[in-house]
């Protein structure tokens, strides 16, 4: 099929950036979205034009490195799908596709479609862990975890940190990402000792990074390729309130 | 090149304990005086960085991705082995050790493998403590499943995302140390050279992938945990960014490269759909717990799978290997799939595929159970192929997945360059000529959490000599060379893209040095690869500049190294004139088409030593001795 692309090109962080239109003829429906971009890039290089920079790595929907806003939707229209797992059969001959980077104050653009998501790492550093020094662990089966709790923890732990939730949110809030980690660790017996400390520290860092607040719009859940649920935000808020009131004594 | 394995002696079950007792320690107050450089943040590098930081060392950790959490360990699906024997089915440290040595076709070092099996249980405990949400039984205990090459159920898992969850555990522990100031993380940084001073590894040269700045980093020891070199084949299950530059640069600086021809072809990947294909996607081996592999009995049978009656199907793994059935090891399953397709009985476009069928399991267990076990894998398959595996059998075909070869290391995980340690897939240590499923995660975490923290102390405690800094002449020289190389790549301004060369190399590698290798084919590859390399350096085009984010430039540097490594891989495959594990030389097979080893001539690790550009590398050997396991023809019948 033949497509027209309108792609955000931006030389570096300080450049204003603009849309550039490219024709993409002869695209196979079996290609992934990123393979389509590979072809466009190969043709650009052959013409002596600089290829479009975009982040990607595993191309099997798990590393969380890729992420494009496609026709206004983070990771494109198909539900529960990362950009790399989106295939061209989701588009039709003659379509115009608009491709943009994640846009959020906390994610400065590095080049073209590549953004800096290091804010997420700093949030995890602030408290998104269980302190378990290597070598100090008890036998695995000494800690019993009811199956349902393990399943719920796993539902939240499935987050790949791609940041589509932030890109989709009109407030550029990171609440879904942060709450998924709070919820994952808070559901397990191992996570209890640091539970309230964790939620306070992660939220403080999230605020410091310049993410917006949650106003219960739900775009994040709709965009999430791993279907992380909004109810995690509820759980996080509950823990946060409990932590705040406990801190005041 | 001196290859001293430094393996402890005595009864194998006491060796690691004895070695730990004999190694030197660094006292807590002195640890912060040592600076350790770690390249790679996957299971091996991430767990090492977290643990060494926690011990009090001063650690710098580098990765090419934008975050440590993206390392390709994250894509491992099925599970991690440990000899916990929670299932009461006869597992033990010895059995895991034995299965691993046998699975590797008797081409691994016994002492290392035993240690791996021994610490496997600690890994599970550690990961549980970190909050890894392993699958559980209703009573709250840990759940297990089976993997290839074993008759016990010893694989721990977190749905089809085990690698992700283990990596996030290590990543969180690492970020905790970053927050505490023990580890400094350098994301979007690529190691482009190793710096050796007075015969010791003292640092690395990196390129900041955002600013393009070439930087020197000095340390008291360097750890490479940069994964395998499967992308030399262009199409593999590796991430697009996975590359061999770090280990290849180390090889060029004097580190021995062991058994490069030991590559693993995974039997269950989604078949190639066209020339546009940029990577291959694995379908976890765990699917073989419930999926049955078959092809039509008749050649060129084009009927739809549901129209082929039961008695016209060949469940060839169950037929050939009744005791292991669909859970035969990877090398054996891959070859069997190739044989079926070569025989004209393959399915799907081009006849390069076999069925992996869940109909029986769905009938027996119900769709819900199958969905619970493999839901995410089924979805992934459906997205890529547009077919619903709950209704039609999956089509799968073997693909390059893992490389058992890598930098040679001794029992302490130190390479032939003192101070240069190598962990995880980047080293050659534990899997011999074939790795069993769910053992890569085990090895990565064993090396990082439980081996290197002990052995590196032994090295550091004996370190003498003055401290140096990055103003040392060796650093300046390496920086200049790195800058020169980048300038050269940018100045060729030829007509072909980097990817076109990578694809060309990959095709030669797959055709001549893939699932089946021959003397003649390997000689052809050895003639072709230097030609491709020569054209690359004359005719590649890399646009843009070196002082910005430039993905073509990054790829060009990696492909330039693959063009050298590919040649070494073929050379090793040619010299190893036997079949073993994943290395299958057509000249050497049993009547049933199984790999036929030649223990008299090849019961050793081949360790290649760089002799300079344009000169053939030197092949050294480390003999392998089997004291505790008897050498035998592998049988899974």
CATH number at residue B341: 3.90.700.10
Query: Which residues does chain B have within 8 Å of residue A59's beta carbon, measured at their own beta carbons?
Result: 239-240, 278-279, 281
pLDDT at B369: 92
Residue B67 lies in a domain: no
pLDDT at B20: 98
Distance (Å) of CA A228 to CA A26, A80, A175, A221, B76: 36, 9, 11, 6, 21
Name the packing angle between helices B162-179 and A118-127 (round to 10°).
80
Residue B386 lies in a domain: yes
pLDDT at A63: 98
Query: Which residues does chain B have within 8 Å of residue A131's beta carbon, measured at their own beta carbons?
Result: 176
Distance from CA of B328 to the nearest CA of A (A): 25
Is B541–A157 a contact, with Cβ atoms under 8 angstroms apart?
no
Other Cβ atoms within 10 Å of B313 Cβ, number: 18
pLDDT at A247: 63
Q: Residues B394, B356: contact at Cβ < 8 Å?
A: yes
Query: B211: burial class by Cβ within 10 Å (0-12, 13-18, 19+)?
Result: middle
pLDDT at A248: 58
Fold entry, domain A3-111: Ubiquitin-like (UB roll) (3.10.20)
Residue B34 lies in a domain: no
The ranges of chain A with pLDDT < 50 are none
Using CA coordinates, name the residue in chain B closest to A120.
Answer: B67
Residue B278 lies in a domain: yes
With H, G, I as helix, E, B as strand and everything else as coil, classify residue B237: coil
Predicted confidence band of residue B373 (pLDDT cuts 50, 70, 90): confident
Look up residue A237 and give its two tokens: 């808020």
Separation CA A182–CA A196 (nearest Å): 9
pLDDT at B599: 97
Q: Residues B70, B204: contact at Cβ < 8 Å?
A: no
Give the pLDDT mean for B389-395: 97
| DSSP for A126-152, written as a single string | HH-S----TT-PPPGGGS---HHHHHH
Predicted confidence band of residue B78 (pLDDT cuts 50, 70, 90): confident
Distance of CA B336 to the CA centre of its chain: 22
Q: Residues A57, B70: contact at Cβ < 8 Å?
A: yes
Is A134–B125 a contact, with Cβ atoms under 8 angstroms apart?
no
Interface test with B, best of A64, A127, A138, A141 (most B CBs within 10 A): A141
Instruction: Enumerate the domain spans of chain A.
Output: 3-111, 117-248
Instruction: Give A52's DSSP letter.
Output: P
* One domain, residues B494 and B604: yes
With H, G, I as helix, E, B as strand and everything else as coil, classify residue A184: helix
Among B73, B88, B91, residue whose Cα is nearest residue B147: B91
The total number of structural domains that make up chain B:
2
| DSSP for B502-531, written as a single string | HHHHHHHHHHHHSSSB-HHHHHHHHHHHHH
Among A209, A203, A205, residue whose Cα is nearest residue A237: A203
B506-513, Cβ contacts within 8 angstroms, sequence gap of 24 or more: B506/B232, B506/B233, B506/B234, B506/B235, B507/B234, B508/B532, B508/B566, B509/B232, B509/B233, B509/B234, B509/B566, B509/B569, B509/B570, B510/B233, B510/B234, B510/B235, B510/B400, B512/B570, B513/B261, B513/B566, B513/B569, B513/B570, B513/B573
Query: Which residues does chain B have within 8 Å of residue A126's beta carbon, measured at their own beta carbons?
Result: 179
Instruction: Give B271's DSSP letter.
Output: P
* One domain, residues B394 and B272: yes
pLDDT at B381: 95
pLDDT in tens, B241-269: 999 999 999 999 999 999 999 999 999 99
Is A81–B383 a contact, with Cβ atoms under 8 angstroms apart?
yes
Residue B555 lies in a domain: yes
Query: Which residues does chain B have within 8 Å of residue A52's beta carbon, measured at their own beta carbons?
Result: none
Distance (Å) of CA B375 to CA B294, B367, B378: 22, 10, 5
Other Cβ atoms within 10 Å of B42 Cβ, number: 34
Predicted confidence band of residue B285 (pLDDT cuts 50, 70, 90): confident
pLDDT in tens, B20-53: 999 999 999 999 999 999 999 999 999 999 999 9
Query: Final residue of a domain: which of B400, B418, B442?
Result: B400
Domain CATH number, residue B504: 1.20.58.100
Name the packing angle between helices B519-539 and B498-513 (round to 10°).
170
pLDDT at A111: 98
Q: What's A117-248's CATH class?
A: mainly alpha
Look up residue B76 and give its two tokens: 């491992």
Q: Which of B84, B133, B279 sits opposite A150 (nearest CB)?
A: B133
Phi, psi of B329 (to 5 degrees): -60, 165
pLDDT in tens, A178-212: 999 999 999 999 999 999 999 999 999 999 999 99
With H, G, I as helix, E, B as strand and everything else as coil, classify residue B161: coil
Residue B200 lies in a domain: no
pLDDT in tens, B461-514: 999 888 999 999 999 999 999 999 999 999 999 999 999 999 999 999 999 999
pLDDT at B593: 87
Separation CA B612–CA B408 (nearest Å): 19
pLDDT at A249: 53
pLDDT in tens, B143-190: 999 888 889 999 999 988 999 999 999 999 999 999 999 999 999 999
Residue B194 lies in a domain: no
* One domain, residues B486 and B394: no
Look up residue B544 and give its two tokens: 């843009």
Q: Which of B74, B130, B386 sits opposite A62 (nearest CB)?
A: B74
User: Looking at chain A from residue 77 to 96, which residues have their Cβ under 8 Å from any Cβ of chain B?
Assistant: 80-81, 85-87, 89
Q: Is A63 on the interface with B (CB under 8 A)?
A: yes
Is A140–B168 a contact, with Cβ atoms under 8 angstroms apart?
no
pLDDT at B434 over 60: yes
Domain of B550 in residue numbering reads as 481-608
Is A150–B128 a contact, with Cβ atoms under 8 angstroms apart?
no
Average pLDDT over chain B reads 96
pLDDT at B424: 98
Q: Is A55 on the interface with B (CB under 8 A)?
A: yes
ipTM surpasses cut 0.95: yes
Distance from CA of A206 to the nearest CA of B (A): 14
Separation CA B99–CA A201 (nearest Å): 46
Q: How far apart are the first and last CA of chain A?
A: 65
pLDDT in tens, B104-126: 999 999 999 999 999 999 999 99
Separation CA B368–CA B375 (nearest Å): 9
pLDDT at B272 over 60: yes
Look up residue B40 and give its two tokens: 């790679």
Is B175–A153 a contact, with Cβ atoms under 8 angstroms apart?
no
Look up residue A186 and give its two tokens: 């808070």
Residue B530 lies in a domain: yes
pLDDT in tens, B530-551: 999 999 999 999 999 999 999 9
Separation CA B137–CA A76 (nearest Å): 37
**B457-490 as b/e, with b when 16 or more CB fall inside 10 Å?**
bbbbeeeeeeebebebebbeebbeebeeebeebb
Interface test with B, best of A32, A58, A190 (most B CBs within 10 A): A58
Q: Is A30 on the interface with B (CB under 8 A)?
A: yes
Interface test with B, best of A121, A149, A152 (most B CBs within 10 A): A121
Query: Which residues does chain B have within 8 Å of residue A90's beta carbon, measured at their own beta carbons?
Result: none
With H, G, I as helix, E, B as strand and everything else as coil, classify residue B442: helix
């Amino acid at each position: 099929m033949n497509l027209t692309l309108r792609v955000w090109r931006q030389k570096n962080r300080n450049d204003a950036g603009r849309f550039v239109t490219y024709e993409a003829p002869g695209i196979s429906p079996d290609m992934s979205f990123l393979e389509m971009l590979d072809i466009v890039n190969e043709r650009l290089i052959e013409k002596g034009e600089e290829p479009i920079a975009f982040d990607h790595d595993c191309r099997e929907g798990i590393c969380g490195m890729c992420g494009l806003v496609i026709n206004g939707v983070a990771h494109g229209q198909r539900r529960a799908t990362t950009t790399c797992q989106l295939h061209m059969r989701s588009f039709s001959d003659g379509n115009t596709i608009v491709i943009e980077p994640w846009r959020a104050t906390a994610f400065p653009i590095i080049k073209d479609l590549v953004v800096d998501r290091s804010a997420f790492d700093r949030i995890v550093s602030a408290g998104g862990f269980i302190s378990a020094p290597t070598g100090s662990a008890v036998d695995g089966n000494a800690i019993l975890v009811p199956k349902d709790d393990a399943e719920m923890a796993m539902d939240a732990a499935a987050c790949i940190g791609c940041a589509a939730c932030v890109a989709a949110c009109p407030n550029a809030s990171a609440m879904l990402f942060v709450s998924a980690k709070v919820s994952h660790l808070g559901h397990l017996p191992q996570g209890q000792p640091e539970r309230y400390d964790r939620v306070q520290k992660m939220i403080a860092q999230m605020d410091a990074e310049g993410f917006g607040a949650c106003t219960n719009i739900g775009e994040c859940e709709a965009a999430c390729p791993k279907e992380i649920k909004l109810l995690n935000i509820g759980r996080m808020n509950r823990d946060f309130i409990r932590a705040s009131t406990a801190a005041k004594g | 090149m001196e290859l001293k394995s430094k393996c402890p002696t005595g009864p194998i079950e006491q060796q690691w304990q004895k070695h730990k007792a004999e190694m030197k320690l660094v006292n807590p107050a002195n640890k912060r005086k040592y600076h350790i450089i770690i390249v790679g943040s996957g299971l091996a590098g991430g767990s090492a960085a977290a643990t060494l930081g926690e011990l009090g060392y001063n650690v710098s950790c580098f990765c090419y991705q934008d975050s440590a959490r993206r390392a390709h360990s994250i894509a491992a699906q099925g599970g991690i082995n440990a000899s916990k024997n929670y299932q009461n089915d006869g597992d033990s440290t010895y059995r895991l050790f034995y299965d691993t040595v046998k699975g590797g076709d008797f081409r691994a070092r016994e002492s290392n493998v035993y240690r791996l099996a021994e610490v496997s249980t600690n890994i599970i405990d550690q990961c549980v403590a970190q909050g890894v949400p392993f699958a559980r039984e209703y009573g709250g205990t840990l759940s297990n499943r089976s993997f290839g090459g074993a008759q016990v159920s010893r694989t721990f898992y977190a749905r089809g995302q085990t690698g992700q969850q283990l990596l996030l555990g290590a990543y969180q522990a690492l970020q905790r140390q970053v927050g505490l100031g023990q580890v400094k993380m350098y994301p979007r940084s690529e190691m482009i050279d190793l710096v050796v001073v007075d015969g010791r590894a003292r640092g690395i040269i990196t390129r900041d992938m955002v600013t393009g700045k070439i930087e020197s980093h000095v340390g008291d020891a360097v750890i490479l945990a940069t994964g395998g070199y499967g992308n030399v084949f262009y199409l593999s299950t590796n991430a697009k960014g996975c590359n061999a530059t770090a280990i290849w640069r180390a090889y060029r600086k004097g580190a021995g490269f062991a058994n490069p021809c030991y590559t693993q072809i995974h039997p269950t990947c989604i078949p190639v759909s066209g020339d546009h294909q940029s990577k291959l996607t694995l379908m976890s081996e765990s699917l073989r717990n419930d999926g049955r592999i078959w092809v039509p009995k008749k050649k060129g049978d084009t009927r739809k799978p549901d129209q082929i009656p039961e008695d016209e199907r060949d469940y060839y793994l169950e037929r050939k290997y009744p005791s292991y059935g669909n859970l035969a090891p990877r090398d054996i399953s891959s070859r069997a799939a190739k044989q079926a397709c070569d025989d004209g009985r393959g399915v799907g476009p081009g006849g390069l595929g076999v069925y992996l069928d869940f109909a029986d399991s769905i009938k027996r267990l119900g769709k819900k159970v199958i969905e619970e076990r493999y839901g995410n894998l089924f979805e992934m398959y459906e997205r890529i192929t547009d077919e619903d595996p709950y209704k039609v059998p999956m089509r799968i075909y073997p693909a390059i997945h893992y490389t058992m070869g890598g930098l040679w290391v001794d029992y302490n995980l130190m390479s032939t360059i003192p101070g240069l340690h190598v962990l995880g897939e980047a080293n050659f240590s534990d899997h011999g000529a074939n790795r069993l499923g769910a053992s890569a995660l085990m090895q990565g975490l064993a090396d990082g959490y439980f081996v290197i923290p002990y052995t590196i102390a032994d090295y550091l405690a004996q370190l003498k000599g003055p401290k140096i800094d990055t103003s040392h002449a060796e650093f300046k020289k390496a920086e200049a060379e790195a800058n020169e190389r980048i300038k050269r790549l940018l100045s060729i301004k030829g007509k072909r893209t980097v990817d076109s060369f990578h694809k060309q190399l990959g095709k030669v590698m797959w055709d001549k040095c893939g699932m089946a290798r021959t003397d003649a084919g390997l000689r052809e590859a050895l003639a072709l690869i230097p030609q491709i390399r020569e054209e690359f350096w004359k005719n590649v085009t890399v646009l843009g500049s070196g002082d910005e984010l430039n993905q073509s430039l990054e790829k060009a540097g990696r492909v330039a190294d693959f063009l050298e490594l590919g040649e070494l891989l073929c050379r090793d495959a040619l010299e190893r004139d036997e079949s073993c594990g994943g290395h299958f030389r057509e000249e050497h097979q049993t009547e049933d088409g199984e790999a036929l080893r030649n223990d008299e001539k090849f019961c050793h690790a081949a360790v290649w030593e760089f002799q300079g550009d344009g000169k053939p590398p030197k092949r050294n050997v480390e003999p392998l001795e089997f004291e505790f396991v008897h050498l035998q023809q592998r049988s899974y019948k």
